[in-house]
Amino acid sequence: MGVIQRQTIKNNVVSLVGVAIGAVSQLLIYPLDVALKGHLDGIVSFATLLVPLVLLGTPAVMVRYLPYLRGEDEVEGAGQLLTRSLVVSTLALLLVCLLNVAFGDRLAVGQGVLEDSRWAIIGVTGALVYAGVLTSHLVNFQRIALPVVFNNLLIKVGVPLLVLAAVYGYLSETAVTAWLVGLYGLAAVGLVVYARHLGILRLGWGKLALGEVRVRQLYSLALFSVFGALGSRLSAQLDTASINTLLGDTDTGIYAIAKYVMNVIIIPTVAINAITSPIVARAWQERDMAHLGFLYKESAQVLYAVGGLIYVGSVVCLPYVYGLTDALEAYRIGYAAVLLLGGAQLFDLLTSINGNLIGMTDYYRWNVGLVLLLGILNVFLNYIFIAVLGYGMTGAALATLVSLLLYNVCKVAFVYWKMRLQPLTVSQLYTTLALVTAGLIGWFLPLEARTSMQVLVRGGLICSLFFCYLRFTHGVPALRRLLTNGVGKMFT
């Protein structure tokens, strides 16, 4: 568990720095040009939806089957998987380019980025694809902290600078779009340099020494992983893409602050999933069900507590945040979306690493049915709530909430059916009571003060009350061990 402790904490520290930068950007920079920010968000959302179709499941293959290749030279085996993944992804990206040349004009519908920024979408897609392959390669060597600097922090710093450059007349919208592609490309280059620095960037084809594993199993996992990844992207990005196409750049920019809160809540999940995926694969290979059950429950307790604190703080403080400046008032109409998206993500945290328990084991094929359920439901609900009922961004958030609830319920039920493992303990009940209590006290606190002080005092009170719950009770044992005995004892 030492690797999980060190890398997860480093990952979260870097991610929290990105959160702070993102908060400043959301409050002070993006309101200066909401439409431009919505335009950039639209490009990234469509690119993110394309990524699974270009990666073709190669990251899952790299992580799942490296344990079977490890011998005297671990780097050589990982390099063989990396080389194959890069070749497959490059060929798929070239196919996307050809399809855009042949049929791209037919996608110029609605009022969003599909009309005039398709090549930018493909450029960002390519950068994300190569970054995804290289990140999976680094994950195989338990390196998840520094990749966050390139995949997250660099983007969090770069995009606000591009918006500022446009606001003050240094860049046109077209130039900003081009620089956005370059920014994501720089992140991918950074990962190459980091892997080379570690001495683990050894490309080579060779014959895969898979032992008892047949090559067709790799193809099968890759195929089914495409559906799994696509379902995850649909749940995370379809709402933004739908708003951009049906409502335009400005509404997309307003919706961004709701997505920002959701992305903050998801930070611990990204770290835990990234570092536990190879561990789950190894434990499954050894059929160590006790270890899998331990990871499942401990992760659920920690993720729900941390995500719950962020969610409750957002619910209480955001109404005051909207009043900090006149420009932020435009975001107030997205408050309901914050509640719905945050609730959806919180339930996802409660169900812990069920995605890894399916995707990194012999049951990965079942992801197809689960993901098809999520994808079809999400597309249908987004169309109904936005286009038919006219609920706008609230409808998009509601569609995401319903889809994620059903998706995670099905995954939890499946894991219990096949492995007799489930993530729930009495800890989550105690944590819920603590969160509700802290939230109500923060909400109804009688306080006459400036808007900025309202945010600081109410948010600080909620954090202090919840800290006392974690420190002086056994509600979340892992976090109590962290606070009392240090990082080394957190998972023991």
Number of domains composing the chain: 1
How many helical (H) and strand (E) elements, i.e. helices and strands, does the chain have? 18, 0
In one letter, which amino acid is 168? Y
The reply to whether 253 falls in a domain is: yes
Q: Kindly tell me if the per-residue pLDDT of 97 is higher than 80.
A: yes
Q: Are 385 and 243 in contact (CB under 8 A)?
A: no
**pTM of the full predicted structure?**
0.77
The reply to whether 433 falls in a domain is: no
The Cβ of residue 92 has, within 10 Å, a number of other Cβ atoms equal to 17
Q: How far is CA 277 from CA 62, 152, 172, in A?
A: 11, 20, 42
Q: Kindly tell me if the per-residue pLDDT of 210 is higher than 80.
A: no
Question: Which residue reads 């085996």 in tokens?
Answer: 77
* CA atoms within 13 Å, Cβ hemisphere of 236: 24
Quick one: pLDDT band at residue 414, thresholds 50, 70, 90? very high
Quick one: pLDDT band at residue 328, thresholds 50, 70, 90? confident
The reply to whether 448 falls in a domain is: no
The reply to whether 472 falls in a domain is: no
Q: For the ranges 131-140, 157-166, 331-340, 456-465, which has the lowest average pLDDT? A: 131-140
Quick one: pLDDT band at residue 491, thresholds 50, 70, 90? very low
How far apart CA 4 and CA 9 sit, in angstroms, is 8
In this prediction, residue 12 carries a pLDDT of 62
Q: Kindly tell me if the per-residue pLDDT of 240 is higher than 80.
A: yes
pLDDT tens, 419-428? Answer: 999 999 999 9
The alpha carbon dihedral of 441, 444, 448, 449 has a sign of positive
In this prediction, residue 269 carries a pLDDT of 77
Q: Kindly tell me if the per-residue pLDDT of 274 is higher than 80.
A: no
Q: Are 397 and 336 in contact (CB under 8 A)?
A: yes
The Cβ of residue 60 has, within 10 Å, a number of other Cβ atoms equal to 25
Q: How far is CA 379 from CA 227, 340, 385, 407, 421, in A?
A: 15, 17, 10, 14, 31
In one letter, which amino acid is 489? K
The reply to whether 484 falls in a domain is: no
The alpha carbon dihedral of 148, 149, 154, 156 has a sign of positive
Q: Kindly tell me if the per-residue pLDDT of 375 is higher than 80.
A: no
Q: Are 224 and 361 in contact (CB under 8 A)?
A: no
Give the domain extent around 182. 2-424
Please name the residues in contact with 280: beta carbons below 8 A apart, sequence gap of 6 or more. Answer: 292, 295, 353, 356, 357, 360, 361
In this prediction, residue 442 carries a pLDDT of 96
Average pLDDT in the 96-113 region? 81
Question: What percent of the chain has pLDDT above 70?
Answer: 89
Q: Are 289 and 366 in contact (CB under 8 A)?
A: no
What tokens were used for 169? 């007349």
pLDDT tens, 342-364? Answer: 998 899 899 888 878 887 778 87
CA 308 to the chain's CA centroid: 17
In this prediction, residue 1 carries a pLDDT of 47
Nearest residue to 294 (alpha-carbon basis) of 279, 314, 316 = 279
The reply to whether 440 falls in a domain is: no
For residues 225 and 135, the model is more confident at 135
Q: How far is CA 259 from CA 264, 266, 274, 328, 476, in A?
A: 9, 10, 21, 15, 27
Tell me the pLDDT of the chain averaged across its residues: 84
Average pLDDT in the 481-491 region? 61
* CA atoms within 13 Å, Cβ hemisphere of 387: 12
Q: For the ranges 10-14, 238-242, 395-399, which has the lowest average pLDDT? A: 10-14
Long-range contacts of 272-276 (CB under 8 A, 24+ apart): 272/4, 272/8, 272/299, 272/302, 272/303, 272/353, 273/353, 273/355, 273/356, 274/11, 274/135, 274/139, 274/144, 275/3, 275/4, 275/7, 275/8, 275/11, 275/139, 275/142, 275/144, 276/4, 276/353, 276/356
The reply to whether 186 falls in a domain is: yes
The reply to whether 393 falls in a domain is: yes
Three-point CA angle 360, 364, 366, nearest 5°: 150
